[in-house]
Chains A and B, each alone.
Chain A
Amino acid sequence: MEKRNVVSVRSILDRCLRVVGFLRRLARSRSGLVGLLILGLWISIMLVTIFWTPHSTSDFHFASRLQPPSLKFPFGTDKFGRDVLSRVLAGCKEVILLALTGTLLAVSLGTLIGLTTGYFGKWYDEIVMRFMDIFMSFPGLLMALLVLAVLGPGWVNVIIVIGVVFSPRVARVARGAVLDIKNKEFLEAAKSRGENSFYIMGIEILPNILGPLGVEFSVRFAYSIFLSASLGFLGMGVQPPTPDWGLMVNEGRDFIKVAPWIAAFPALAIASLVISVNLLSDAIRQLAAGEI
């Protein structure tokens, strides 16, 4: 039977409708709805700030430093006179893209490891999994600081760190999922057809473990935001003057008595984003378990 890869308008519409259907099912639970709304808000803000922000994120307004929130500067200004609102809105882009890329890296790496260890097994599985276990026995932030001490701060290194820190956990989940379906008949059929291992892993097994991987992805995404914000706070993440929420909270800490808005608004922003992602992961988990 010939394979026809037809990308027609119809198939694209089909996929869009499937995504919309998925989102509608998520929205049926209260946590999913709130999570979607808040995350949707932040994503729209992110898209808008690529083109426009109320004020520039790096322009100094020396005449109006450390101003409380006003009509001109709704979130106030920081020690250089930069508009806090614009920086908070623009920082959303950094946070989401950083965490997303890091999570994608972690999930890809982890899935690769999990697939191969689950499928091949034997001594390869033993050794690699022991190694992963020991990696997991480091608290995440500790491992992140260790690697960043070597690589130095910066957003590329933070992405690498997120990938390294979270891939063992994803590998565990992926491996578990692979072992679950290892004895199913369609895999035996594929093997007796003479398909090679990569085909079996990539085309037969992978689509069937997307469920647990999806849940894991959303949970890791929340943790990645957490981790990258904490690293930013400690000064090991994105470097100034790029607006990063963690960094802004750190810079605002010195002025907390005279200008609490510099630290408070980024902190609220982080809180709202993580809450929304957590709510969404809850909803995705419920969806995967068939509760909604």
Chain B
Amino acid sequence: MLPYIFKRAVSIIISLLVASIIIFVIVQILPGDVAQMILGQYQTPETLHQLRESLGLYDPFYVRYVRWISGILKGDLGISLSITGCRIADLLLDRSRNSLLLAACASLFVIPISLLIGTIAGLKRDTWVDKMVSLTTMVAISLPEFASGIFFILIFSLTFKLLPAMSNIDTNVDLLRQFPMLILPILTLSLVILGYIARMTRASVIEVSSSNYVRTAVLMGLPTSNVIVKHILRNALLPSITVIAMNMGWLIGGIVVVESVFAFPGLGSLLLYGVMQRDVPLIQASVLFAAAAYMILNFVADLLYLFLNPRLRNP
């Protein structure tokens, strides 16, 4: 198992490297360069030339790339253009803490509930419970995050006035008191994922329930709870972990939209701001950061799958 983990870790590093090249290439095609953006209306040909020299923009492509990468490895992600003067590393760390909080709460909330719902639906196949769950999950995976976010705001903030519509939390204030502001974003983020995981679990439980070893267990006279837990669940939950891993990536993408809907100060809204302002260093750094987070999450999910599936442990 250890050589497998090592190989995977190496492949992630390579992927990250290639991803950084892709990001760098795509962003460098941007028309109008960084010097023009910094100087804005104060640009003259001489000042542009001077700034470009000092920023090293006349260097060939690969030199600039290596400079960027070595900066990252030292922990310097550059300085933002739009949020003038701020070190991007500080911005990213600050914002990602918030996003991480949101993502972690959403995952902790959604994974147990969706597994439960999916299992119950799978075990009680074709009853009204199952049909309700199928319908609800179908709607859940069809609603884009901003649509469900708007609906939640309409229901919980406007009609019933239970929860606040904006979630611009202040990290200096105690987070526990601001928790009501987090509930709606977490709910919105979880909805799509809940749909996917529940459906996958249901399908997987149905498939496992009709397998031979489950039939044997039932015929052997084992108590139903025993059959369910030890035989059905243990095998049915495995594919769900792969789906969970896939959806963690969805989380990172969907978080951009959710943060926009609820004005949540996280990584997603930072990235969006950078894109709107065409702030090249910020875009480069935050996309790379988000991609790295996604790859690491996938890696963790892979490890979990490996750990839980004895068949893969000793190839």
Question: Within residues 265 to 305 of chain B, which ones have a CB less than 8 A from any CB in chain A?
Answer: 271-272, 274-276, 278, 283, 287, 290-291, 294-295, 298
B254's partner among A141, A149, A236, A246 (CB-CB below 8 A) is A141
Q: Does A145 contact B (CB under 8 A)?
A: yes
Contact, CB under 8 Å: A138 / B294:
yes
Q: Among B79-87, B94-102, B150-158, which stretch is in contact with chain A?
A: B150-158
**Chain B contacts of A274 at CB under 8 A?**
142-144
Is A234 engaged at the interface, CB distance under 8 Å to the other chain? yes
Which residues on A are within 8 Å of B, measured CB to CB?
31, 131, 133-135, 137-142, 145-150, 222, 226, 229-230, 233-236, 246, 249-250, 252-253, 256-257, 260, 263-264, 267-268, 270-271, 274-275, 278-279
Pick 9 A–B contacts, CB within 8 A, sort by A: A134-B18, A134-B22, A137-B294, A146-B287, A150-B29, A229-B147, A233-B257, A267-B147, A271-B147
Which of these, A134, A137, A226, A275, contacts B139 with CB under 8 Å? Answer: A275
Q: Cβ of B138: which chain A residues have Cβ within 8 Å of it? A: 31, 275, 278-279
Q: Is B252 an interface residue (CB 8 A)?
A: yes
Q: Say yes or no: A149-B283 contact (C-beta < 8 A), given A230-B146, A271-B139, A271-B147.
A: yes
Task: Report B61 CB to chain A, min CB distance, Å.
Answer: 16
B5 interface residue per 8 A CB criterion: no
Q: Are B150 and A267 in contact (CB under 8 A)?
A: yes
Partner of B150, one of A137, A147, A253: A253
Residue pair B165, A142 in contact (C-beta under 8 Å): no
Assembly CA distance A148 to B283 (angstroms): 11
* Residue from B15, B150, B252 in contact with A263 in the complex, judged by beta carbons closer than 8 Å: B150
Nearest CB in chain B to that of A277: its residue = B142
Q: CA–CA, A279 to B254, complex, Å?
A: 22
CB-defined contacts of B290 to chain A, threshold 8 Å: 139, 142
Complex Cα gap A76–B23 (Å):
44
Given contacts A249-B147, A260-B154, contact A271 B254 (CB under 8 A): no
In the complex, residue of chain B having the shortest beta-carbon distance to the beta carbon of A133: B15
Docked CA distance A141–B295 (Å): 15
Of all chain B residues, the one with the shortest Cβ separation from A164 is B26
Q: Mark B9-33, 1 if CB is under 8 A from A, else 0.
A: 0000001001100110011011000
